[in-house]
Structures are given as C-alpha cells and as structure tokens.
Structure 1
Amino acid sequence: MAISKRRFLFGTVALLSATACLVHRAQAYLDDEDDENVHSLRTHSLYMPYIDQDLQNRWFDFGGDTIINTNHQIRLTQDYPSQSGWLWSRLPLTAPNFQIEFEFKVHGKGDGLVGDGFAVWLTKERAEPGPVFGNRDNFEGLGIFFDTYANARQTHSFPYVMAMVGDGRTSYDNAHDGLNNRAAGCEADIRGKDVPTKGRISYNGNSQTLKLELRTTESDKSDTCFILTDLKLPPAFFLGFTAITGGVHDNHDIISVSTYVLDKGEDFSVERANNTRPPSGKSSFGWVLKLLAGSGVFAGIVFIAFKMTKKNDRARF
C-alpha cells in the first residue's frame, strides 16, 4: 500500500512538472512574439539625465523658459507668470503604427486659479513658439491640450484634456477653450498628484484610429480619455511638448518619453463602438493555455488514481 501511494505521488508530481514546463514554454513563445511586434524608437524617447556632457540631447531640442534638472525632470515652465517652454524631436516620425508613453506632472503653490496648461504635438511643423499652449497657431497635425484654466464658462470641469486636428489654416479658439476645435476630450484629474501621471498615445495607421489613455494613480489601471477615428496624420511629423503660463501659472514637467514602433496596430474603432476594450489575443490565448493545463492536470490525476485503484482491486483477488 505504501509503494502504491509513493507511485501515485511520483506520477502526480511528474505530470504537474511536465504541464508547468509546457505552460512556461508557451508563455515564453507569446512574450517573444509580443517583443517582435514592438520596437523601441530611441530617436523619439527621452530619459534621465536628458542631456550629454555638452548640455545637449542628440535627439531632442529644447528652448524658451525650459529648465532641465538632470535628476528629476524637464520643466517646460516654472510656477511663474508669463513663461513659455518647448521640447521637440529633431527627427520626424514616419511609422504607420506607434505608441508614445510619457510621464508628466502639473503642480504649483496655487490652490485656486492656476494655468495655463501644456500640450503634446504630432505636427508637420516643429519648434515654432506661439500662443497655443506655447506653440504656433494654424498648425498641421494633431494637438492634445492639457488645459488647467477656463477662459470661458464650460459644461465640463477643469483640468480638461482635448484633441484638435489642425489643417494648417484653422486657428485655435482660445477665448472659448477650443470649444469649436474639439475633436474629442475628457475631464482628467492630472494636477497636484503625488505621483507622475502617465499618458499613452496609440495610433493605427491602417484604420486611422488613435487612442489616448491616462493613469493618474499608482495602480496599473489606465483610463481611456478618448478615441479618434478617421485621423490621418502627416506622413512625417515631429513629436513635441510645450507649455505656457500667463497671469496664472504652474510647473509643467516632462519626466520621460518612450516611443515604440508596432508591426501591427490595434483597431480602436471596436472599443469606441462598444465603449469597452476588446481582449487582446495574448490574454485570450494565455487563458486558454491555463484552462488546458488545469484540465490536463485534473485528467492526469483521475487517470492515475483509476489505474492505481484497478491495480489494488486486482491485488485483493
């Protein structure tokens, strides 16, 4: 009887080990497949200490009132009035499918009226300071505005994040906070946070869809701010960050930028129609693997138990 139990335990452990090995190999395959689909783009990424020994960055220009703290952040504006700063990629981005992840903080001493905000740009032009959150007006491409000050009465609260698609001729309606220019937007609690806010821009050139996600807490959960469809970006555009202050002011900090080229872009039009994110193939396949693994272990245990029972029954007779 003791020998039978040992054989039973040995068989069960062997089966579990084999199953775990198969699951591990399958997961490694999925990870490799995912890594092959995502390629880091150094020319459009930025990390501490930001500058080299010549106080320059090979891939980005900065100017205006921008101050670089090599241990903390790139501060586009300080918490002072009438400031304007900018940060632009030197090279254009031409990939049809991409993701841009960026960390930022908007903060200051003020608790009441603060502003004005900052912007992320995917535009044909670059490094032309102006009145639209520190950048030129009549731009061509996409501007995403993180607006912290209301110039007019609105139905939404501030801070407010909105997208404007520029055609090179249309001016930004600053007096009404871009109400007539708004392609999409959302309310977002992005100011005065204890941790940096994380943003992620994902674009699929085939379906011409773009999604902005924001994460304002330490959790891993990101919220979709908006999804744009039928968005055709310039074939070559520059990545920029600008900020401006006026009578009201804040610190506007960029902490990191990570850009990735994707072999296959996700179609966000389904998510927009259903207001839910479709499950990725990787997650679904992983769930199936776990189910199959669990079923295999259970079936193996039942089979071994059945064989041992039959053997013991034969031994009794």
Structure 2
Amino acid sequence: MATTAMKLNGTIYTTVMNLPYSLASKIRVSVLLVLILTFVSSSSGENTYEDNAYEFLKREYSLTKPYQGLGSSSSSHWEFMGNTMIMPEHIRLTPDLQSRQGAVWSRIPCYLRDWELRVQFKIHGEGKKNLNGDGLAIWLTKERMQIGQVFGNANLFTGLGVFVDTYPNDVKQIERTFPFISAMVGNGSVEYEHDRDGRSTDLGGCTAHVRNVEYDTFLLIRYMKNRLTVMTDTEGKHEWKDCLDMPGVRLPQGYHFGLSSATGDLSDNHDVISLKLYELTVERSPEEEEEQQEITLPSVDYRADPDVYVEDEGRSIITVFFLFIVSVVALVVVIVVIIFLYNRYKENRRKRFY
C-alpha cells in the first residue's frame, strides 16, 4: 500500500494515498483538527492560576501607561496629591529630594470579594546603602487622600497596608535586613509604630532587594477567601517568590486602593510603573457568603483585638523575667549543693586518713 509521509510541527504524519477521496478528506480534516487542538492545549497548558486571572482585569482599578485615567477631573478614575509627578514612563510619587510626600488614590471603591493586585515599581537614588529612604506603601483603606507619617499616609488607617520599607528606623534590631516588605491590618485605632518599623503590628514579611537594581521589580498581593498572600518578583527571574501568607484576614468591601511614599532627611525616587487589579472567581458555600457579608471592620483571626496582642507581648516580657529569676535561683541551688557535696567528700577523706 503506497503511503506518503508529511511532517507538520515537528511530528511526522502518514496519509494513505490510495483510499477513496471522501475517506481521505475526512482523514485530512481530522489530522488538521488534532493539530489545532494540540497547539491550543500546549499553549494554554503552560498558564498558571495567576495567568488565567488576566481574563478578569478590572481596568477601572488599574493604572497603566499612558496613565489617561489619572487626573484632577471628576471623570478620572484616579487622582494624585502632594509631590507626585506624572511622567511618560512612570508615576513618580516622590523625587530623590528631602521631605517630600506623594500619593495616588482610586476614586472608585472596590467591591470585589476576591482579587489579585500586581504592582510594578522602581526605587532608586543617589544615596548609598542605608543612606536612603523611606519607601512606599500600597493601600486598601476606608480613608483616602490623607497625608501622614506612614509612608506619606495617615497613621491611623482602616484597612490593609503593604509596606516596602527601605530604611531601618530601629537601629537596635538585628533580625531584619532592609529593604523589608511587610503588611498590616488596621482598624482605625491602632498606630503603625514608625520608630520600630511596624514590627509590633505587622503580619510578617520578607527581605527584598528592590533598590537600585537594573531589572524590573514586582509585588503581588492576593486576597482570596479571607487569606492574604504577598509574593515578590525582585530578582529578575520572572518568577514569584513567597513573602507572606496569612489566613483569617477579614477585609470589608467598599474600600479604596492607593499608593503613597515619603522621604525625610534621606531620600529616593519612588516610581510606580503599573498597577493591575484582577478579579478572582471563587466558589463559596452559603455559610461563607453570609460570613463575608458580616465583615464590617478589618481584623485578623489570631489577633482580632490589637489590645490583646499588646498585652500578650507584655506577658511574654514578664514570663522571660520570671524564667530568668527561676534560672538564677536554680543555679544558686546547684552551686550550694555542689559545695555541700564537696565538703562532705573532703570530710570523708579526712576520716579515712586518720
């Protein structure tokens, strides 16, 4: 039986030439469909969960070049304040000058239950290491367009703050290497401790070398089923790296997204290149739907009451002091026992000698 080999897309297919014309046509059509399906499946099979989220890009909550939705007119989706400058390639929240503050805020409150935010940013300046500051913050809060001491925003905020902190204010701390990325959930009555870099109120975080690098730096913030996840792409490898994963985070709907930055005696350029928000499709049970609707104040399950957290920290100090006292007493008792046994030993030796 005569056959002819045909090579398509790296694969050799054999068509039967002496079959009836109708059957040969069906075979050719089938082969073509198989090729199309193979191509589609191979291209889509490489997508991750995050890539599929691109189908749900929410443009009204996003900022991309040429930043046409940013301005002072009432029709704009975003507005800016302070020393913010709109440039063709980026939005400069603060220049590399002392005592500057800037911010951009969404005019439209966000009512998405599950979302993912991707921020491309750049922090750079003339200052040497540890002689630069202060960093930038990404917000989802009830309040908006307020100037304050927390990376250019108000200290008492209601909602979520994710901080890219480039300068250690607490010079005595040694457990963190800066720049450091952290997150905090505020209920409007708990202050961010600027002098301690927010360590008493944050949910954790990670070190990320984001300053004066040649490649693009990205930050991903995902809120899905009351779980907050923060990931980074700051090494130029085009892959996400875990930074923070915290369950039991409860954020109400109707808050505003924003970005802010500030410089003090030390400075840097803080540039935002893009901000993209994606809606995530998540199945929920009726109980989860009811629970979500009952959230009216931001909180975290493991320390829903910040005052309790402060008291826990105080008790831990008392516990350490108590353990120290017990250790000293135990050491004294051990020394006394050793001296007593040694004296007994010497006395017994004298009795044997005589």
Same fold (TM over 0.5): yes
Of 10, 26, 36, the match for 1:21: 36
SS at match of 1:264: coil
Structure 1 contact 124–234 (Cα < 8 Å) conserved: no
Aligned counterpart, 2:160: 142
Look at both structures and tell me which one has the larger radius of gyration over its CA atoms. Answer: 2
Which letter does structure 2 place at the counterpart of 1:125? E
**Cα shift at 1:171:** 0.5
- Of residues 216, 231, 250, the one that matches 1:196 is 216
Partners of 1:53 and 1:183 in 2: CA distance? 31
Residue 24 of structure 1 deviates from its aligned partner by 3.6
Gaps of 5+ in 2: 7-11, 17-26, 285-354
Match of 1:10 in 2: 14
Q: Deviations over 1:50-105 (max 9, x none)?
A: 14797757110101011111x11111100001011011000111101111111100
Q: Which residue of 1 aligns with 2:239?
A: 221
Contact kept, 8 Å, 2:71 with 2:80, in 1: the verdict is no
- Percent identity between the two aligned chains: 33
The change in CA–CA distance for 1:114 and 1:96 in structure 2 (over 3 A counts) is: same
Of the three residues 191, 200, 214, the one matched with 1:180 is: 200
Structure with more contact order per residue of length (Cα contacts < 8 Å, sep ≥ 6): 1
Q: How many correspondences in the alignment? A: 261
1:28–1:218 CA distance, 2 compared to 1 (3 A): closer
Query: What is the Cα-based RMSD across aligned positions, in Å?
Result: 3.0
The one-letter code of the counterpart of 1:140 is: T
Conserved in 2, the CA contact under 8 Å of 1:209 and 1:229?
A: yes
The alpha-carbon deviation at position 242 of structure 1 amounts to 0.3
Deviations 1:90-137 (CA, angstroms, capped at 9, x unpaired): 011110111111110000011131101110001111111101110001
Whichever residue aligns with residue 205 of structure 2, its letter is: G
Aligned mates of 1:242, 1:10 — CA distance in 2: 63
Q: Who is 1:42 aligned against?
A: 59
Contact 2:133 2:267 survives alignment (8 Å): yes
Q: Report if aligned partners of 2:139, 2:256 keep a CA contact under 8 Å in 1.
A: yes
> TM-score scaled to structure 1, two decimals?
0.74
CA distance in 2, matches of 1:228, 1:44: 24
| Contact preservation (8 Å) 2:231, 2:240 | yes
CA distance in 1, matches of 2:44, 2:165: 43
Change (3 A) 1:224 1:20: same
Q: CA 1:169–1:45 in structure 2 vs 1: closer, same or farther (change >3 Å)?
A: same
> Under a length normalisation based on structure 2, what TM-score does the superposition of the two structures give?
0.67
CA-to-partner distance for each residue in 1:235-261, whole Å, 9 max, x for gaps?
211001000110111000001111111
**Is residue 2:96 matched to residue 1:79?**
yes
**2:32 and 2:214 mapped to 1: Cα distance?**
44
Does residue 88 (structure 1) correspond to residue 105 (structure 2)? The answer is: yes
Does the aligned pair in 2 maintain the 1:38–1:262 contact within 8 Å?
Answer: no
Report how far residue 168 of structure 1 moved: 0.7
1:138 CA drift (Å): 1.3
